[in-house]
Amino acid sequence: MTPLPESELKHLPGAWTLAPDHKSIHHSYKFKTFAEAWSFMTHVALLAEKMDHHPDWSNVYNKVDITLSTHEAGGVTQRDLALAQAITDFVWVPE
């Protein structure tokens, strides 16, 4: 698996952004409560497990930061874009 060329990273799903080093994509989410943030993380965990591709993430109260990168490829691959799109497709997720 090889990283995607920069030309394929110009149109990322939703409000995902490309890291300055072009080796990962990132999104920060803010929810009304900790319970909403935790519920979101639970949904993402189930998606990630199903897709066998797990995010780097952190949670502080109502905020969730997610970074996606395919470490063995050394950058962003189609697997990262697919998981980002699946997360973006959650109807109730704020952008």
Of 6, 54, 56, 89, catalytic: 54
- Planar angle of CA 75, 57, 40, nearest 5 degrees: 120
49 is catalytic: yes
Of 11, 21, 52, 71, catalytic: 71
68 touches 23 (CB < 8 A): no
26 is catalytic: no
54 is catalytic: yes
Q: Would you give the DSSP letter of residue 33?
A: S
Of 11, 21, 52, 72, catalytic: 72
11 is catalytic: no
36 is catalytic: no
- Planar angle of CA 20, 25, 26, nearest 5 degrees: 95
22 is catalytic: no
Token pair for residue 3?
């990283």
Token pair for residue 89?
């497709």
Of 53, 56, 65, 95, catalytic: 53
Of 6, 8, 49, 56, catalytic: 49
| Residues annotated catalytic, as ranges | 49, 53-54, 71-72, 80
